[in-house]
Amino acid sequence: MASLSPKYPIALLAFMALAPLQTPPALAHDEPQKRTISLVATGAIKTTPDKVDVSTGVTSEATNAGDALDKNTAAMTKVVEALKADGIDPKDIQTTNFSVGPIYEHKEGKPPVIMGYRVTNQVRITLHDMKKLGAILDKMVSLGANQIDSIEFGVEEPEALKDEARKLALKNVTDNAKLYAEAAGVGLGQILSISEEESSYQPRFAPAATRMEMSKDVPIEAGTATVEVRVRVSWEII
Residue 175 is part of a domain; what is its CATH number?
A: 3.30.110.170
Asked if residue 213 lies in contact with residue 164, where contact means CB atoms within 8 angstroms, the answer is no
Cα–Cα distance between 56 and 125 in angstroms, integer?
8
The pLDDT value given to residue 34:
84
**pLDDT tens-digit series, residues 81-110:** 999 999 999 999 999 999 999 999 998 888
Neighbours of 68 (CB within 10 A): 22
Of 154, 182, 204, which residue constitutes the final position of a domain? 154
Contacts of 43 (CB under 8 A, 6+ apart): 164, 165, 166, 167, 168, 169, 170, 171, 172, 228, 229, 231
Give percent above pLDDT 70 in the chain: 79
Range of the domain at 99: 51-154
**pLDDT tens-digit series, residues 125-168:** 999 998 888 889 999 999 999 998 889 888 888 888 999 999 99
**pLDDT tens-digit series, residues 26-54:** 555 566 688 999 999 999 999 888 899 99
Same-domain check for residues 210 and 146: no
